[in-house]
Amino acid sequence: MAQHDFNIANAGGATVRADINNVLSAIQSNNSGSSAPSSTVAGMFWLDTSADPYVLKIRDKGNNHWLKVADVTDPGSDGDLQIVAPLETKGGTGQTSYTQGDILYSDGSNSLAKLGAGTSGQFLKTQGSGANPTWASVPQTVVSYEARQFEFSSATSYENGAAAELVASRGTNSSAVVPSFTAVQGRTYQIVFNFRAYIDMDAGVNSSGRNAIFRLYYGTTSRSAGDSTYAGTDMLMKMHIGRDLATPSTSASASYIGCTLMGSFYQSASDATTYVYFTSYTGDGDKKVLVYHGASNPMFLSITGYTGDLTDIIT
Handedness of CA 224, 228, 234, 239 (dihedral sign): positive
pLDDT tens string 211-269 = 567 788 888 988 877 778 777 778 888 776 655 545 545 555 566 777 888 888 888 89
CA 4 – CA 2 distance, rounded (Å): 7
Cα dihedral across residues 59, 60, 64, 68: positive or negative: negative
Question: In angstroms, rounded to a whole number, what is the distance separating the alpha carbons of residues 223 and 277?
Answer: 8
Mean pLDDT of the chain: 76
With H, G, I as helix, E, B as strand and everything else as coil, classify residue 260.
strand
Run of H or E residues at 16:
helix 13-28
- Of 205, 314, 181, 186, nearest to 254 by C-alpha is 205
Q: How confident is residue 294, by pLDDT bands cut at 50, 70 and 90?
A: low
**What's the topology of domain 141-307?**
Jelly Rolls (2.60.120)
Contact call for residues 179 and 148 (beta carbons, < 8 A): yes
Q: Which residue has the higher pLDDT, 1 or 112?
A: 112
CA dihedral 40, 45, 49, 52 (to 10 degrees): 140
User: Does 133 score more than 50 pLDDT?
Assistant: yes
Q: Which long-range contacts (CB under 8 A, 24 or more apart) does 231-240 make?
A: 235/263, 236/191, 236/261, 236/262, 236/263, 236/264, 236/265, 237/261, 237/262, 237/263, 238/213, 238/214, 239/213, 239/214, 239/215, 240/211, 240/212, 240/213
CA 114 to chain centre: 21
* Predicted local confidence at residue 275, as pLDDT: 87
The β-bridge partners of 55 are: 48, 71
The pLDDT tens digits for 4-41 are 888 888 888 899 898 898 888 888 999 999 999 999 99
Q: Where are the domains positioned within the chain?
A: 1-84, 93-138, 141-307
CB 267 within 8 Å of CB 143: no
- Exposed / middle / buried, residue 303 (Cβ in 10 Å: 0-12, 13-18, 19+): buried
Of 15-19, 97-101, 280-284, the range with the lowest mean pLDDT is 280-284
What is the CA angle 295-260-277, rounded to 5? 85
Angle at 207 between CA 292 and CA 171, to 5 degrees: 25
pLDDT of the residue at 286 = 54
pLDDT in tens, 190-206: 888 887 776 665 544 44
Number of residues that make up the chain: 315
Residue type, 126: T
Alpha-carbon distance of 287 to 266, in angstroms, equals 36
**pLDDT value for 172:** 45
**pLDDT digits 0-9 by tens, 146-170:** 665 554 334 455 556 666 777 775 5
Do 303 and 145 touch, CB atoms closer than 8 A?
yes
